[in-house]
């Protein structure tokens, strides 16, 4: 069942979202060759706790850390490591914060130092596909209108959309109904209504869309070893005709 959030709940989600956005701004400042994803994780955990929130991912299904840090061919759910980031890497950072029982969830892929033109294009297409998708995140459209817009833009640009992981409703739980695929025909699924809060998150591969999970049970990688990129915000369906991004400062 898709929940409609009250004004009070939306205010709490805005607050959670601002904490997530602040944590992302901190990460953006720290990303450079030589930093480890464990250092990013520790800084984010401290930031979230100082904001009187809880790092949503820590302990979720047994996940060990406060951020997911997914380097290069890692698609999602990368565990923070001691490995230092290298010039030319790309790293997707996914952060969740729970404030007074409500969750904000957002992800972005960073380039480390100077990256290849192809990696930069992958990151830019992933980000733009999110905005093409949320052009339909409006009261009255159907859920898969978002999915189809994302897939269409990504494939027009020669990349592929991950099938095995999808966006989701978000609120009191990190993962609520509905699942939100980043692919599929338009005009399907539930009709979007004011007060729905959705984590929309295209995961885009440079090569094929096939992925697999490593033996650690978490790390999802592209099966062809090519790069993958991620972009996510928590999005509110409003009554004004334009969606509101909750995970921004
Ligand atoms: Mg998410």
Mean pLDDT of all residues belonging to the chain:
98
Distance 119 CA to ligand 1 centre (A): 22
Structure tokens that stand for 128 in this block: 């733009």
User: pLDDT at position 214, please?
Assistant: 98
Distance 105 CA to ligand 1 centre (A): 6
Distance 52 CA to ligand 1 centre (A): 21
User: pLDDT at position 73, please?
Assistant: 98
Distance 225 CA to ligand 1 centre (A): 23
Residues of the chain under the 50 pLDDT cut = none
Q: Report the alpha-carbon angle 235-171-108, nearest 5.
A: 45
User: pLDDT at position 143, please?
Assistant: 98
Distance 236 CA to ligand 1 centre (A): 14
Distance 116 CA to ligand 1 centre (A): 27
Segment 64-77, tens digit of pLDDT: 999 999 999 999 99
User: pLDDT at position 47, please?
Assistant: 99
Distance 230 CA to ligand 1 centre (A): 10
How many Å apart are CA 237 and CA 220, to the nearest integer? 30
Count of helices and strands (H, E) across the chain: 4, 15
Distance 35 CA to ligand 1 centre (A): 24
Q: What CATH number labels 7-245?
A: 3.90.230.10
Segment 168-213, tens digit of pLDDT: 999 999 999 999 999 999 999 999 999 999 999 999 999 999 999 9
Closest CA to 174 of 62, 98, 77: 98
Distance 174 CA to ligand 1 centre (A): 7
Distance 213 CA to ligand 1 centre (A): 17
Is there a contact between 82 and 237 (Cβ–Cβ < 8 Å)? no
């Amino acid at each position: 069942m898709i929940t409609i959030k009250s004004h009070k709940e939306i205010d709490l989600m805005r607050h959670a979202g601002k904490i997530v956005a602040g944590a992302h701004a901190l990460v953006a400042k720290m990303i450079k060759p030589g930093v480890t994803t464990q250092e990013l994780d520790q800084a984010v955990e401290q930031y979230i706790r100082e904001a009187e929130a809880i790092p949503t991912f820590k302990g979720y299904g047994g996940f060990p850390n406060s951020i997911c840090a997914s380097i290069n061919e890692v698609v999602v759910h990368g565990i923070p490591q001691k490995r230092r980031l290298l010039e030319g890497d790309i790293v997707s950072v996914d952060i969740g914060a729970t404030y007074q029982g409500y969750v904000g969830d957002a992800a972005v892929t960073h380039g480390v130092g100077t990256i290849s033109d192809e990696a930069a294009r992958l990151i830019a297409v992933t980000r733009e596909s999110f905005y093409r998708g949320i052009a339909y995140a409006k009261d009255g459209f159907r859920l898969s209108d978002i999915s189809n817009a994302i897939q269409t833009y990504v494939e027009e640009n020669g990349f592929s959309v991950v099938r095995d992981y999808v966006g989701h409703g978000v609120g009191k739980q990190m993962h609520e109904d509905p699942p939100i695929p980043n692919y599929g025909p338009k005009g399907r699924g539930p009709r979007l209504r004011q007060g729905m809060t959705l984590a929309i998150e295209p995961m885009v591969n440079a090569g094929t869309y096939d992925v697999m999970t490593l033996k650690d049970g978490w790390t999802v990688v592209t099966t062809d070893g090519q790069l993958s990129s991620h972009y996510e915000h928590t999005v509110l369906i409003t009554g004004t005709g334009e969606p509101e991004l909750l995970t921004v400062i």
